[in-house]
Amino acid sequence: MSTHEPIADRDGTAAPSGTEQPSRSAAVSGAVAVDPEPPAGAPAGPGPEVLADPAPGAAADAAEGDVAEGEPTDRGSGWRLRDLAKLGAVCLLVLLLVNAFVAQPFVVPSASMENTLRPGDRLIVDKLAYQFGGDVHRGDVVVFDGTDSFVPGGDDRPGIGAELDRLAGALGLGDGSGTVFVKRVIGVGGDRVTYRAGADALTVNGVRLAESDYLFPGDAPSSAGFDVRVPAGALFVLGDHRSASRDSRDHLGDPGGGFVPVRKVIGRADWVAFPPGHWRSLDRPAGFAALAAAGGSGGDGDQG
């Protein structure tokens, strides 16, 4: 009759009763690892600890558990906010550069150009129209700085108020300052512009100018007569709503004679961009082409 001997340690001592036979191998990541044999005389001890692969998702749960309460878990959110701020700054810089050198919005402040332009209309002004050799033409609607022609130079006040006005103009929220005007060019350098009180039309270089395309309904070409010669490098400008416009006629006796220096022209008004119901392009009226065809001299080349 056979009997089972208790498992003995390698030193020959009997294993404590009740213990299970230790395993000689363990699976680690699908491979079989064999327990190394302890050297002779080494004390018995537990086998090496085997780390099993975590269950799917356990690593993520542990990582999330390391995040303090209230701390954002999206590590990239800060970078995204910084990128958006940089993008906004670049867009603002591009807008300011376009306003300064290419095109700028302006607000029509008064009724002096009705019905072509109405109070509150937003204009897009082409600031490159007269650059690189371009000339101002009769019939163009221009935005200009009226300092020293329509407004005495002393009225160009310094200070934060003036700077805020200029910023509003740059963003299309105002006219930019109290010295910015919008009018139609009637005569350019070398032209003689004449009106006889009570006549149905004014003349440019002796040629009758047809203004029915833009003159405010019911208005006469002027309420008073005048006869002027436009200096080289200057412009004679009038509003389309003659009875509601203060223009070159009102400043004939002032220093500068009411003539606007070409160098003070900010740009040509090309479009009405707002409100939507008043969208339109500001094309040169046909009467001015007829004036040139009739032999009206002076003009476009004599800008100074």
Higher-pLDDT residue of 255 and 18 is 255
Residue from 267, 231, 251, 270 nearest 147 by CA: 251
Is the Cβ–Cβ distance between 140 and 182 less than 8 Å? no
Antiparallel, parallel or unpaired: β 180-188 and 141-145: antiparallel
Distance, CA of 178 to CA of 180 (rounded, Å): 6
Tokens of 236: 């004679």
Judged against a pLDDT cut of 90, whether residue 138 lies above it is answered with yes
Give the 3-state secondary structure of residue 14.
strand
Q: Quick one: pLDDT band at residue 155, thresholds 50, 70, 90?
A: very low
Asked, as a colleague might, if the bond just before 275 is cis with ω within 30 of 0, I would say yes
Is the Cβ–Cβ distance between 210 and 201 less than 8 Å? yes
Is the Cβ–Cβ distance between 221 and 247 less than 8 Å? no
Residue from 237, 191, 245 nearest 219 by CA: 245
Distance, CA of 105 to CA of 257 (rounded, Å): 29
Place of tokens 């299309």: 172
Give the 3-state secondary structure of residue 122.
strand
Q: Quick one: pLDDT band at residue 292, thresholds 50, 70, 90?
A: confident
Catalytic: 222? no
pLDDT of 85 reads 77
Tokens of 178: 């109290």
pTM above 0.85, yes or no: no
List pLDDT tens digits, range 221-250. 999 999 999 999 999 999 999 999 999 999
Antiparallel, parallel or unpaired: β 103-107 and 280-281: unpaired
Catalytic: 183? yes
Residues contacting 29, CB < 8 A, separation 6+:
53
DSSP letters of 164-228? HHHHHHHTTSS-SSTTEEEEEEEEETT-EEEE-TT-S--EETTEEPP-TTTSPTT--S-SS-EEE
Q: Quick one: pLDDT band at residue 254, thresholds 50, 70, 90?
A: confident
List pLDDT tens digits, range 81-125. 887 877 777 776 665 555 554 558 889 999 999 999 999 999 999
Q: Which residue among the candidates 183, 245, 248, 264 is catalytic per the annotation?
A: 183
Q: Quick one: pLDDT band at residue 196, thresholds 50, 70, 90?
A: very high
